[in-house]
Amino acid sequence: MIDLRSDTVTRPTQAMRAAMAAAEVGDDVYGEDPTVAALEERVAGLFGHQAALFTPTGSMANVLAVSALVPPGKEVLCEARAHIARAELGAHGAIGGVTMRTWSHPRGQLDLAAVSDLFAPDLGHYFVPTAAISVENTHNFAGGAVLPLEDLRALRSFTGQRGAAVHLDGARIWNAHVATGTPLEEYGAVSDVLAVCLSKGLGAPVGSLLVGPRDLVAEARVRRKRMGGGMRQVGILAAAGLYALEHHVARLAEDHAHARVLAEACGVDPATVDTNIVTFDRPDAAGFVARAREEGVLIGAVGAGTVRLVTHLDVSRDDAQTAAKTLAGL
Ligand SMILES: *Cc1c(COP(=O)(O)O)cnc(C)c1O
């Protein structure tokens, strides 16, 4: 089976497992796991921020990040298909007491005019005040689309004037970095808080990080514990992340090339594929997915009429070509 359902399906390589087995560990709730500390310091540094916090999932990093910026009873604005709005099972409302309003863009892009229209200043007692804007880069349900740095800079200057904050859901920020050559620090500079995943394209089995100012991260550490996310000898997981940062970032360019091969076979203009995700409309999406499975290719349907293919570490060039041939014939 060639599994193109998601870049979360990767299995740790032998070399990654060796790094995990050799990791120095301690009790991280006591602040005594040197490998977790090293990962947090490394990732904070990559984005030019003061601190970072290791979390079990990207969803937890997002909830901690958004609730650090948005107190209960205030709102975050985001694109309509954002992961925080659609795929975190209402966590921001259920746990954070945060409400959301959205703008829509066919490629998941920032629409600053729409943000400006939606933006609600704090007038005291009538409208829900806007405390933060959240952007997703790359944008998962918009087909792995990259958000241009200029747009993020414009957002940052808008929020600076209005006294709001920027949350960047960077589950796949590594893909945006490799696809555009934009230094990670530049993404850090346009964000108050970031959430980044190790368990997607980077191929680690578990783990994400929240990245931001020292005080905010210290408060998030308390909230993580409150949510049951205080973890003990997780240096073995942090070691997978450190290994991935060393060995699995530059190679994301291969995943992007494989995605373009698949796009072409499925009648999608490869020039519209920014990174490792290809989405396209098929009225019979469920049937298409079922036929592909019979032919040995696992793909996903996102919505009734949309198919999604995702390339990753466990999809070789041969796999991509084989899958492309199979899908072209369905
Ligand atoms: C996968 C993903 C997350 C986090 O997902 P978890 O499964 O909770 O780790 C967050 N944002 C985006 C855009 C994602 O694709």
Within this chain, do residues 215 and 273 fall inside the same structural domain, yes or no? no
Global pTM exceeds 0.75: yes
Cβ-count burial 127-140 (b if 16+ within 10 Å, e if not): eebbbbbbbbbbbb
User: Do 54 and 203 lie in a common domain?
Assistant: yes
Range of the domain at 219: 14-247
Instruction: Name the amino acid, one letter, at 214.
Output: R
Same domain, residue pair 161 and 215: yes
Q: Are 52 and 184 spatial neighbours (Cβ–Cβ below 8 Å)?
A: no
Last residue of a domain, one of 191, 220, 247: 247
- Is 3 within the bounds of a domain? no
What CATH number does residue 279 fall under?
3.90.1150.10
Residue 157 and residue 63 share a domain? yes
Check whether residue 39 and residue 86 sit in a common domain. Answer: yes
Same domain as 268, residue 225? no
Total domain count, the chain = 2
The set of residues, in sequence order, having a beta carbon less than 8 Å from that of 85 and lying 6+ positions away, is 78, 79, 100, 102
C-beta atoms surrounding 267 within 10 Å = 10
| Neighbour-count burial of 213, counting CB atoms closer than 10 A to its CB (0-12 exposed, 13-18 middle, 19+ buried) | middle
Question: Per residue of the chain (330 residues), what is the pLDDT tens digit?
Answer: 999 999 999 999 999 999 999 999 999 999 999 999 999 999 999 999 999 999 999 999 999 999 999 999 999 999 999 999 999 999 999 999 999 999 999 999 999 999 999 999 999 889 999 999 999 999 999 999 999 999 999 999 999 999 999 999 999 999 999 999 999 999 999 999 999 999 999 999 999 999 999 999 999 999 999 999 999 999 999 999 999 999 999 999 999 999 999 999 999 999 999 999 999 999 999 999 999 999 999 999 988 899 999 999 999 999 999 999 999 999
Is residue 130 within 8 A of residue 164, CB to CB? The reply is yes
Q: Best of 59, 95, 168, 172 to mutate for ligand 1, by most ligand atoms within 8 A of CB?
A: 59
What distance in angstroms lies between residue 61's CA and the mean position of ligand 1's atoms? 9
| CA 235–ligand 1 middle distance (angstroms) | 21
Within a domain: 207:
yes
Q: Is position 164 within any domain?
A: yes
**55 touches ligand 1 (CB under 6 Å):** no
Domain end point (choices 221, 247, 273): 247
- The protein residue with its alpha carbon nearest to ligand 1, atom 6, reads 58
Question: Do 154 and 256 have their domain in common?
Answer: no
Residue 69 belongs to some domain of the structure:
yes
- Phi first, then psi, for residue 299 (nearest 5°) are -135, 175
Q: Are residues 279 and 293 in the same domain?
A: yes
Where a domain ends, among 247, 277, 300? 247
Q: What's the CA gap between 147 and 196, in Å, rounded?
A: 15
